């Protein structure tokens, strides 16, 4: 009898830092390799080496390219990983863009902390450098969606479309006759840009995300809400700041605003996208047209309608532009990126509106804004917040509880165990009860660094 050890190294009892290590004598696989975001105690985990022998890992399988699923890769390589990093074409492109951007931000923030002396570390260091990020890219190897990949004599893997962001997949790993299904982040059933997720039909062990496992997205009229916010900004002669993830939500917002303008529902208000990374992601949409719904004509018309801010000097020009305007800038949870500069300069004005889109993890600045904070700490200084704060949940790229259940509906067997991951504890407990009520399946919420043994 063969034995498998499953190490829960991230996204266990929390949303971010996705890392699941499958260890057998024959093959060793890490599914996802993400950074922790949000709570300080979790972020400090990013600075620690993994409690496994990293040099023994044969493969890293990436479900998609978000930072909390790929951002730890340079550190994995620093710790001795020399295997293959597998992902779909768009996923590897997104991961490349995100890792390069992450390293740049890490270096810039360390440099700023040293110049302004607001870090307790002397000197403040980046988590990893641009050179380390570039070195990690050398281990990337593209796979095709739907192909069965032989990883060892008794192990194969298949990456299948799941509609969360461009390139995103769930992964089926067949190991000694047992199927292990990793959901990654499951997308929406109806999305402006992406198709509905494919659904697994068999899972002996199911690892399913639970970000919105305790709720249903509100039935919001996104166009109506955006139209109202744009008109308010025009009336108040203010700025509508939309912190956004550079992947998918940014493109979705661009598409929504372009459609509203095309239908004469909003005037030709200046729209600035201040996200060099988001601009690069747009090129991925052009590069991989079969992965999304936009036609090439729609893509170009949408891009031509919006001003792309590329340099930091242009960021300040945009801030100083006295016209009412819309600014979409990274990052989505206000944890870093250019949006910090906009909120630092404009957040204390009553004429400013901040529109939060999608999930805001615990202790992020985005969550604090949602909870009504009157000040935010940005670059070591407390910034007063007088801006109005709104939230659009229905633009989330994550499936809600009914959509997660729909994704699981096609599984024909009764899984031996369902592991609930990638969620906050309260959400996972609600989802666990719902799965048991609907299917009668045996669910487990693994703790961080828990190791589960499976006989194969």
Average pLDDT, the chain: 94
CB 425 within 8 A of CB 214: no
Whether the predicted pLDDT of 194 surpasses 80:
yes
3-state secondary structure of 211: coil
Whether the predicted pLDDT of 318 surpasses 90:
yes
Listed residue (139, 158, 7) closest to 73, CA to CA: 139
pTM: 0.89
pLDDT of residue 103: 95
Average pLDDT (300-327) is 93
Which residues on neighbouring strands pair with residue 242, listed in sequence order? 328
Whether the predicted pLDDT of 117 surpasses 90:
no
Tens of pLDDT, residue by residue over 125-144, are 999 999 999 999 999 999 99
Confidence bin at 68 (pLDDT 50/70/90): very high
Whether the predicted pLDDT of 113 surpasses 90:
no
Whether the predicted pLDDT of 375 surpasses 80:
yes
Angle between helices 276-287 and 89-116 (to 10 degrees): 170
Q: Given CA atoms 409, 212, 329, 44 in this order, what sign does their dihedral have? A: negative
**Percentage of the chain modeled with pLDDT above 70:** 100
CA 412 to chain centre: 30
**Percentage of the chain modeled with pLDDT above 90:** 84
pLDDT of residue 9: 98
Average pLDDT (66-76) is 97
pLDDT of residue 70: 98
Whether the predicted pLDDT of 55 surpasses 90:
yes
Average pLDDT (246-267) is 91
pLDDT of residue 38: 80
pLDDT of residue 431: 98
How far is the CA of 147 from the CAs of 87, 107, 156, in angstroms? 12, 38, 10
Tens of pLDDT, residue by residue over 331-358, are 889 988 899 999 999 999 999 999 999 8
Tens of pLDDT, residue by residue over 293-311, are 999 899 999 999 999 898 8
pLDDT of residue 109: 86
CB 37 within 8 A of CB 64: no
Which one-letter DSSP state was computed for residue 158? E
- What is the rounded distance in angstroms from the CA atom of residue 206 to the CA atom of residue 181? 5
pLDDT of residue 387: 98
How far is the CA of 36 from the CAs of 9, 11, 18, 159, 265, in angstroms? 11, 8, 8, 24, 40
Whether the predicted pLDDT of 279 surpasses 80:
no
């Amino acid at each position: 009898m063969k034995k498998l050890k499953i190490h829960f190294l991230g996204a266990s009892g929390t949303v971010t830092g996705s890392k699941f290590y499958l260890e057998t004598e024959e093959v060793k696989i890490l599914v996802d390799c993400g950074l922790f975001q949000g709570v300080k105690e979790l972020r400090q985990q990013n600075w620690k080496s993994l409690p496994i022998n990293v040099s023994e890992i044969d493969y890293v399988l990436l479900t998609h390219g978000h930072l909390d699923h790929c951002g730890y890769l340079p550190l994995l390589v620093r710790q001795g990983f020399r295997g293959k990093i597998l992902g779909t074409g768009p996923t590897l492109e997104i991961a490349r863009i995100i890792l390069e951007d992450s390293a740049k931000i890490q270096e810039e923030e360390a440099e700023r902390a040293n110049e302004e002396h607001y870090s307790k570390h002397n000197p403040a260091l980046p988590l990893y450098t641009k050179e380390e990020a570039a070195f990690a890219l050398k281990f990337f190897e593209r796979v095709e969606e739907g192909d069965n990949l032989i990883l060892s004599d008794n192990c194969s893997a298949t990456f299948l479309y799941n509609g969360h962001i461009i390139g995103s997949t769930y992964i089926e790993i067949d190991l000694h006759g047992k199927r292990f299904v990793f959901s990654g982040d499951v997308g929406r059933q109806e999305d402006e840009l992406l198709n509905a997720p494919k659904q697994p039909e068999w899972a002996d062990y199911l690892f399913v995300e639970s970000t919105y496992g305790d709720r249903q997205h509100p039935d919001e009229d996104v166009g109506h809400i955006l139209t109202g916010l744009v008109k308010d900004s025009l009336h108040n002669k203010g700025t509508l700041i939309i912190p956004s993830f550079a992947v998918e939500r940014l493109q979705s917002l661009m598409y929504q605003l372009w459609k509203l303008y095309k239908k004469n529902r909003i005037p030709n208000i200046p729209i600035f996208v201040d996200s060099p990374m988001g601009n690069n992601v747009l090129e991925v949409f052009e590069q991989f047209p079969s992965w999304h719904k936009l036609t090439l004509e729609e893509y170009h018309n949408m891009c031509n309608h919006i001003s792309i801010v590329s340099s930091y000097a242009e960021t300040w020009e945009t801030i100083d532009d006295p016209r009412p305007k819309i600014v979409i800038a990274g990052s989505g949870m206000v944890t870093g990126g250019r949006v910090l500069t906009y909120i630092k300069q404009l957040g204390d004005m009553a004429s400013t509106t901040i529109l939060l889109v999608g999930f805001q993890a615990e202790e992020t600045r985005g969550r604090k804004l949602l909870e009504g904070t009157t000040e935010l700490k940005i670059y070591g200084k407390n910034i007063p917040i007088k801006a109005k704060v709104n939230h659009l949940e229905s633009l989330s790229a994550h499936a809600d509880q009914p959509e997660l259940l729909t994704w699981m509906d096609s599984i024909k067997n009764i899984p031996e165990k369902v592991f609930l991951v990638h969620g906050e504890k309260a959400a996972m407990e609600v989802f666990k009860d719902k799965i048991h009520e609907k299917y009668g399946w045996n669910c487990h919420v693994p703790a961080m660094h828990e190791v589960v043994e499976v006989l194969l």
